[in-house]
Copies of this chain bind each other. A is one copy, B any other.
Amino acid sequence: MPTLYHHPMSPASRFVRLILSEYGYQTELSEEQPWENRRDFLTLNPAGTLPVYVDDSMRALCGATIISEYLDETSGIMKRDRRLLAEDPFQRAEIRRLTEWFLQKMEADVTRPLVRERIFKLQMTPDQGGGAPDSKILRTSRSNIRQHMKYLSWLAGSRPWLAGDRISYGDLAAAAAISVLDYLGEIDWSDAPSAKEWYQRLKSRPSFRPLLAERVRGVTPVSHYADLDF
C-alpha cells in the first residue's frame, strides 16, 4: 500500500488526503515532525517539505502540487464528472491559481506562522527553536486572516464552488487550510456567511471525516471544530 508522510496540522498534507479519499484510494499514513529534519525523510525529499507520497514501487513524490498533478494524470483523468481538475486549460489554470493561493500565499501569510507558533513550538526543543509563541507574529498573522476570509467569502458568494461550477482541487486546498485554522479557533464565522455555507458543504463530505476526528497533542480544538452544523 502507498504511504503518505504527513502532519495532521499541515494544510498541504490534508489537501492530498482529501484528494486520495475523494478518489477512493487507501494509503498508509506516517506522521512526520517536519522540524526534526529526520535523515531518512530528507533522503526521500531533500526539500524537507510535507506531504511525501511513496508508491508501491518505493518511488517518492514530493509536495502537494506534484502529488496532485500526478494523481490527476494517473487517476483523475478517468473520473469523468468526479475529476477534481477541469478539462479546459483556462479552467485548470483557475483551479491551480486558487490551490496555490490557499496552500502557498495563505500558508505564508497566516497558516504556517500560526501553526508554528501555536503547535510546533510546543513540541520543539529549545535547540530546534521551541518555546513560547511570539506575540508579534501571532498579531500579524491574525490580521492577515481577515483579508483571506474576505477573498474566500467573495469566491464562495459568487460561484457554486470556489473555481466554478464543480468541486475542484481549489475547494479541497481552501478547506484544508481553513480546517487547520478552525481547529485553532482562529476563524470568525459570524462575519462570513457565504464562506460558512461553503465550508459546511465541504465538512459534510465523507472525505472530511478523518480530519475532523483528528487531535494534536497539547492543543484542544475549538468546540465547534467537528460540528457539521456550527
Q: In the assembled complex, which residues on chain B have CB atoms less than 8 Å from the CB atom of A105?
A: 47
| A46-B151, A47-B101, A151-B46 as given contacts; A92 in contact with B69, CB under 8 Å | yes
Q: In the assembled complex, which residues on chain B have CB atoms less than 8 Å from the CB atom of A215?
A: none
- Binary B-proximity of A159-170 (CB < 8 A = 1, otherwise 0): 000000000000
| A73-B92, A89-B73 as given contacts; A100 in contact with B66, CB under 8 Å | yes
Is A97 a contact partner of B59 (Cβ separation < 8 A)?
no
Copies in the complex: 2
- Distance A100 CA – B73 CA, assembled complex (angstroms): 18
| A63-B97, A97-B62, A100-B63 as given contacts; A70 in contact with B92, CB under 8 Å | yes
- Distance A148 CA – B46 CA, assembled complex (angstroms): 11
Question: Which residues of chain A from 42 to 62 have any CB-CB distance to chain B below 8 Å in the complex?
Answer: 46-47, 59, 61-62
Q: In the assembled complex, which residues on chain B have CB atoms less than 8 Å from the CB atom of A92?
A: 69-70, 73
Is B46 a contact partner of A96 (Cβ separation < 8 A)?
no
> Beyond the given A47-B105, A63-B97, A66-B96, could you list 6 further A-B residue pairs with CB under 8 A, ordered by the A residue number?
A47-B97, A47-B101, A62-B97, A63-B100, A70-B93, A73-B92
- Binary B-proximity of A55-81 (CB < 8 A = 1, otherwise 0): 000010111011001100110000000
How close is A2's CB to chain B, nearest CB, in angstroms? 13
Selected from B46, B59, B96, B101, the residue in CB contact (under 8 A) with A69 is B96
